[in-house]
Amino acid sequence: MTTKKTTFGAIGALACTLLPFVPFGASAQSSVQVYGVVDMGVSSYKGDGAGSRQMVTSGGNQASRLGFRGREDLGNGLVAGFDMESGINADTGTGQLSNTNNQASGNSGGGGLTFNRKSFVYLQSKQWGELRLGRDYTPAFWNTFLFDPFRVGVGASTHVLHGTTVTGFRASNSVGYFSPGCSGPSCQGLFYQGMVAFGENGAGPDRQDGNLYGLRVGYGGEQWNAAAAVTTTRNRIADDYTSMNIAASYLWNGHRFMALAAENRTGNRLAAVGNANRVRYWQLGAEWKVGNGSIPMSFMRLTRNDGASSSSQKYAVGYVHNLSKRTALYGTYAYVDNRGSLNLPVASGAVNGPIPTAGGNASGFDIGMRHSF
C-alpha cells in the first residue's frame, strides 16, 4: 500500500504543478514518426522426450514491431506526446495478443493488429518528470529486460516468470510516473518510477483482480547502472502475484557486464507450476564488443520450492554482426539443464520450443537478420 500512496502522491503533485504552466492557445511544434523492426530467422529447438521443431521465426534478436509516436512542444519545458506500438509476427504477417484487464480473461486480438506492446499518452516536464496513461511496461519488467544481454529470442531468460505472464511485461489501464531524467529505459542519475493499474472489474469477490502497483528505484551513470523493482498484481485465487528483482551493470572499454537476482512468487501454491509458490533465479551476462559486432553471453540458475528440489540452468551465447546502424545478422545457441520436476523449454512466448519431460534438457538456436526503421 505504501507504493500506491507514493505513486498517487507523485502523480497528483505533478499534475497540479504542471497545469498552471500549460500554455493554452500558444503556438507549438509537433511531429509524428513511424518506426519499427522486422526481425526474422531460422530456428531449431528440441526437448528431451518431445522431439525437435524447425521453423521460420520472428524476433530472435529484437521483437518485430510497428509503431507510431508523436510529440508536441508546449513551451516552458513541457512536452506532450503518445506512443502506440504493435507487436507483429513478421514470419506470418499476423498480430499478437493484447490484454484488456491484466487478467487471463482479458486476452484478446490474437492474429489481428493490436497495440499490445505500448499504447499511452504522456505529459513530460524536465523539472517535474513524466506522467503516462494507458498500456505500458511494468516497473519489474525493466530490470529483467535491460540487464539481460539477449532480451528476446532463444537466449533470453524471461521464460522463468512464475505463475502468470499477463502482467509480467506490461499492464493495461495504467497510470505511470517517471522521475526527472528517466523516461522508459533511459535514466540518468538517481531515479524512480511508479505505476498503478486497474483490472476494472465489477462487484464481486474478484473485483480487485488485475489491479497492479509497482515501484522501481535506481541510478543511471556513464559506466554504472543499478536498479531494484517490485510489482504486485492482485489475484484472489493465487493470493496475488509479486515479482521483485535487483540488477546492476558496468561498462568497461565498450564491453558491458551485468548481473540480476530475482524472485517471483504467489501467496498460494499453484498446481500448474508443480504446487510451488516461489521461484528464485540469478543471472550473469555480458556483451563483448568485437569489431562491427558483439558477443552476448549469459548463465542463469533457477530454483523452485515445489518439494522436488527442482532447478534449472541455462547457458546462452551468440554473435551479432552489424551491417549498418539499422541492419544486423545474428546467431544464438542456448542449452537448458532441468532438474527435478522442472521442464522449461529452451524458448517460450509466441514461439515455444518443445517442452521436455520433467527433468529433461532442452536446446536450440536462432540464425537470422534484423532491420529497423
Burial of 5 (0-12, 13-18, 19+ CB in 10 A): exposed
Residue spans per domain, the chain = 2-19+34-372
| Dist. CA 302–CA 173, nearest whole Å | 32
Cell of residue 192, nine digits: 524512480
176: β partners: 132, 195
CA angle 85, 90, 93 (to 5 degrees): 90
Cell of residue 282, nine digits: 540469478
Which pLDDT tens digits describe the chain residue by residue (373 residues)? 444 444 445 455 544 544 554 444 444 688 999 999 999 999 999 999 999 999 999 999 999 999 999 999 999 999 999 999 999 999 999 999 899 999 988 988 777 889 999 999 999 999 999 999 999 999 999 999 999 999 999 999 865 555 556 898 999 999 999 999 887 777 899 999 999 999 999 889 999 999 999 999 999 999 999 999 999 999 998 899 999 999 999 999 999 999 999 999 999 998 878 889 999 999 999 999 999 999 999 999 999 999 899 999 999 999 999 999 999 999 999 999 999 999 999 987 656 789 999 999 999 999 999 999 9
Query: Do the Cβ atoms of 371 and 326 come closer than 8 Å?
Result: yes
287: β partners: 256, 296
pTM above 0.85, yes or no: yes
Choose among 329, 340, 272: nearest CA to 303.
340
Architecture of domain 2-19+34-372: Beta Barrel (2.40)
Cell of residue 237, nine digits: 485465487
